[in-house]
Amino acid sequence: MRNSLLRIHTAQDIDDQVDKVLRGLGNAPPPLSLEYVRALLKLDKGYYSSTKDGPLRELASKLFVAGKQILGRPTLLWEAVKKAELKALYLPDRKQILLDEDLPLLKHRWNESHEIGHSIIPWHTSAMLGDNTATLSQACLEHTESEANYAAGRLLFLRERFTEELNSSTPTLKLIKNLGKSFGNTSTSTMWRSIECSTQTIFGAVSSHPRKLSEKFNAQEPLSYFIRSKSFIEKFSEITEHLIWGHMQSYCGWQKGGPLGETEVVLTDDNGSNHVFRMETFFNSYEALTLGVYVRPELITSVNLFSSSIAATEALFRDLL
Ligand SMILES: [Zn+2]
């Protein structure tokens, strides 16, 4: 799955809304407190369980009373949650965010921000039903979901504050991890945000361990996410997930966790020229994060130079003779 970038005007409109929130909180330093954000926006937070039927049925019947925009029949919510793997909801008329309590705590922060994103984007209010795994995993193709993800990223990373810190040095997985800590976000969402707002030619991948494939591994789609910066999309549009995966398998080791390896690889741009990228991979015990950063154009090797100069000399002699 690949990331999609928003149109400039849409991004600007969302930025204006995010800006209002951050100013409302007095532009406090990171990490952003979602509790304060909800207090400012007068949003309520609740939980439901996707594994226990009872509480969800109860919630569904409450929604039947209160939430006319959601459903005609209470059982439909329960069915929707089961079928669509709903992970979070925003109920505009109750100004309430509901999170699936069965998800790991680390994911709640992103899911909650995503729903806050829906609540501050004026044109989303009419389009709310709920969110499933695909949309919340940041790579959804539907506009509203990409927009809510964009808003979530801009909120959690405090707009330009993150971009400035990021662009002041060469991105590495270590830097991303440290930035993630100071902004209170996971390494995965930090890597995602780093690539999308980078002015450099970089890419990232979220995948299974390249040596110890997980049960969910799909050879047709070896990377769960292939995230590319604007500049990378413009110059290296032909680079595929399979090519990146092949490189990862060549340099990654069998370690159970931590850094799996790093190397320099050559990628060919859309004009057919070769360029060197530095790739590194880290495994956090459930997913592998890979970062690729542009280093330099590939120089023609001395052997090539030598043989081409021989050819040129021969040609010169042929002309003279
Ligand atoms: Zn959503």
pLDDT at site 140: 42
* 180 CA → ligand 1 middle, Å: 23
Q: What are the strands, taking DSSP E only, across the chain?
A: 44-48, 86-91, 96-100, 131-132, 202-207, 223-228, 258-268, 274-283, 288-297
What DSSP letter does each residue of 30-50 carry, written as one string?
SSP-HHHHHHHHT-EEEEE-S
Among residues of the chain, what percentage have pLDDT more than 70? Answer: 77
Average pLDDT over residues 29-38: 96
Cβ density class 187-206: b for 16+ within 10 Å, e for less: bbbbbbbbbbbbebbbbbbb
- Looking at per-residue pLDDT, the higher value among 69 and 142 belongs to 142
Tokens of 58: 């109860």
Q: State the DSSP H helix or E strand holding residue 104, giving kind and residue range, or none if neither.
A: none
pLDDT at site 94: 81
* 56 CA → ligand 1 middle, Å: 19
- Looking at per-residue pLDDT, the higher value among 36 and 90 belongs to 36
* 223 CA → ligand 1 middle, Å: 23
* 115 CA → ligand 1 middle, Å: 6
| Contact indicator for 64, 76 with CB cutoff of 8 Å | no
* 147 CA → ligand 1 middle, Å: 8
* 244 CA → ligand 1 middle, Å: 29
pTM of the model: 0.77
pLDDT digits (tens, 9 = 90+) for 210-268: 999 988 899 999 999 999 999 999 999 999 999 999 999 999 999 999 999 999 999 99
* 131 CA → ligand 1 middle, Å: 5
Q: How confident is the model at residue 26 (pLDDT cuts 50, 70, 90)?
A: very high
* 95 CA → ligand 1 middle, Å: 15
* 285 CA → ligand 1 middle, Å: 27
What DSSP letter does each residue of 246-280 carry, written as one string?
HHHHHH----SSEEEEEEEEEEE-TTS-EEEEEEE
Give yes or no for residue 38 having a pLDDT over 80.
Answer: yes
Q: Which residues surround ligand 1, an ion (CB under 5 A)?
A: 131, 145, 148
* 51 CA → ligand 1 middle, Å: 21
* 114 CA → ligand 1 middle, Å: 6
Give yes or no for residue 200 having a pLDDT over 70.
Answer: yes
Q: Which of 95, 87, 85, 89 is nearest to 129 (CA)?
A: 89
CA atoms of 88 and 152, how far apart (whole Å): 14
* 130 CA → ligand 1 middle, Å: 6
Give yes or no for residue 93 having a pLDDT over 80.
Answer: no
